[in-house]
Amino acid sequence: MSKQVVVYSADGCVECSYVKQMLKDEGISFEVRDVLKNREYQKEVEKYGFMGIPVTVYEDRAIKGFNPELKEIVEMVKD
């Protein structure tokens, strides 16, 4: 199974855009899952214990929002 970064997002979400831009700037590929287009994606977010977006997931790490913790995912991916 390939390791994939997933960003739960929605159109018009400014914070989501910041997360995606940061990952692009770091050269990290990711899958975008739009919670407004697919109800299952919202359920996945809720399983991580969050109600809102963005939520960035890599392996067993889920981070809500655009915050310094995202660097942990960047480091995990680059190791």
Q: Based on the structure, what is the number of domains in the chain?
A: 1
pTM score, two decimals? Answer: 0.93
Domain containing 46 equals: 5-78
DSSP per position, 23-59 = HHHTT--EEEEETTT-HHHHHHHHHTT-SSS-EEEET
Question: Domain of 27: which CATH number?
Answer: 3.40.30.10
Write the pLDDT tens digit of every residue in 7-33. 999 999 999 999 999 999 999 999 999
Write the pLDDT tens digit of every residue in 34-77. 999 999 999 999 999 999 999 999 998 999 999 999 999 999 99
